[in-house]
């Protein structure tokens, strides 16, 4: 049976803002400056995070999948993970190394013309 692919026309805005996936630690901890520093560490990530898409070795890094972003910050502050990978720096107690960005993207509005 043959499958068909359809082209869907969309209207999209210019990028509204950009965001980066970075490695956050608490401000009283050292910055993570390279990916090798993740080895044997407990790294908090959200459910949608795919380590292999970022070139991270799942055999060397202990990923702790966390259901909500707020929980990842709580686990970091409680010492249950060593660092977290996420976007949006909305917590003043966290910092990251600006030269180590795992992924950059942007959000924009997308509509289907009807």
| Alpha carbon distance 87, 47 (integer Å) | 13
- Residue 22 CA to residue 12 CA, distance in Å, equals 26
Shortest CA distance to 22 belongs to which of 84, 72, 107, 105? 84
Task: Report the topology of domain 20-111.
Answer: D-Maltodextrin-Binding Protein; domain 2 (3.40.190)
Whether 25 and 94 have beta carbons less than 8 Å apart is answered as: yes
pTM (2 decimals)?
Answer: 0.78
84-114 residue pLDDT tens: 998 876 678 899 999 999 988 888 888 877 7
Query: How high is the pLDDT of residue 5?
Result: 56
């Amino acid at each position: 049976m043959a499958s068909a692919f359809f082209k869907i026309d969309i209207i999209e805005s210019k990028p509204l803002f950009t965001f980066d996936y970075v490695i956050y630690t608490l401000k009283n901890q050292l910055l993570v400056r390279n990916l090798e520093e993740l080895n044997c560490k407990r790294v908090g990530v959200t459910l949608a995070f795919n380590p292999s898409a970022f070139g991270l070795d799942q055999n060397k890094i202990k990923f702790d999948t966390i259901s909500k972003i707020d929980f990842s910050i709580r686990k970091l502050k409680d010492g249950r993970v060593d660092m977290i990978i996420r976007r949006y720096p909305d917590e003043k107690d966290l910092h990251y190394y600006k030269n180590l960005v795992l992924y950059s993207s942007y959000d924009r509005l997308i509509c289907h013309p009807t």
